[in-house]
C-alpha cells in the first residue's frame, strides 16, 4: 500500500496533465462531432463509424511513455509511437516488437471498444426509430 501511494505521488503531475488532455480532447471531439458530422453519418454510417472509432482510438488510447530504463510515466499511445519511430533505424526488430505491444495493441483494443460502442448506439437508435415509425403507421391507419 505504501508503494502504491509513493507511485501516485510521483505521477501526480503527469496524471493531471493526462487528465487535462483527455478533457480538452473530449470537448473538442464532441464539438466537432455535433457541429460537422451529422450529414456524413447519415450518408454512410459504416464508414463514419469506422473513421470516428479510429480517431477516438488514436486520441484516447492509453500507454506508458518510457525509455525502458530511467523513467516511466502514463501517457498516450500515439505519443509513445512518435517517440519510438526514430529508433527503428538503429534497432528495427526490437523496436517494431515494442511498438506493436506498447503502442499498437492499446490502439487496436480502444478501436474495438469504440467501434462496438458506436455500432451498439446506432443499432439501438435505429431500432427506436423503427418502433416510432411503426407506431405512427398504426395510428395513421387507425389500427
Per-residue confidence (pLDDT) for residue 137, from 0 to 100: 67
Q: Would the pTM count as exceeding 0.85?
A: no
**8 three-state secondary structure:** helix
Q: How far apart are CA 64 and CA 98, in angstroms?
A: 12
* Number of separate domains in the chain: 1
Q: Print burial letters for 20-40: b (CB count within 10 Å at least 16), e (below 16).
A: eeeeeeeeebeeeeeeeeeee
Quick check: helix, strand or coil at residue 97?
A: helix
Per-residue pLDDT, 108: 95
| Structural domain harbouring 45 | 2-141
**Euclidean distance between CA atoms 8 and 1, whole angstroms:** 11
Alpha carbons 74 and 89: distance in angstroms, whole number: 25
pLDDT tens, N- to C-terminus, the chain (143 residues): 788 788 778 778 888 888 999 999 999 988 888 777 766 676 778 888 898 899 999 999 998 877 766 777 788 888 888 888 888 888 888 888 888 888 899 999 999 999 999 999 888 877 766 666 666 666 767 65
- Say which residue the cell 448506439 belongs to: 121
Amino acid at each position: 500500500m505504501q508503494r502504491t501511494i509513493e507511485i501516485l505521488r510521483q505521477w501526480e503531475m503527469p496524471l493531471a496533465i493526462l487528465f487535462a488532455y483527455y478533457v480538452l480532447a473530449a470537448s473538442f471531439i464532441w464539438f466537432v462531432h455535433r457541429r460537422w458530422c451529422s450529414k456524413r453519418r447519415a450518408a454512410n454510417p459504416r464508414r463514419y463509424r469506422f473513421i470516428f472509432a479510429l480517431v477516438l482510438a488514436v486520441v484516447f488510447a492509453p500507454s506508458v511513455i518510457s525509455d525502458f530504463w530511467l523513467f516511466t510515466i502514463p501517457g498516450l499511445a500515439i505519443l509513445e509511437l512518435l517517440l519510438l519511430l526514430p529508433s527503428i533505424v538503429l534497432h528495427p526488430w526490437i523496436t517494431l516488437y515494442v511498438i506493436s505491444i506498447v503502442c499498437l495493441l492499446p490502439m487496436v483494443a480502444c478501436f474495438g471498444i469504440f467501434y462496438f460502442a458506436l455500432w451498439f448506439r446506432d443499432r439501438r437508435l435505429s431500432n427506436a426509430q423503427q418502433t416510432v415509425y411503426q407506431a405512427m403507421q398504426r395510428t395513421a391507419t387507425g389500427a
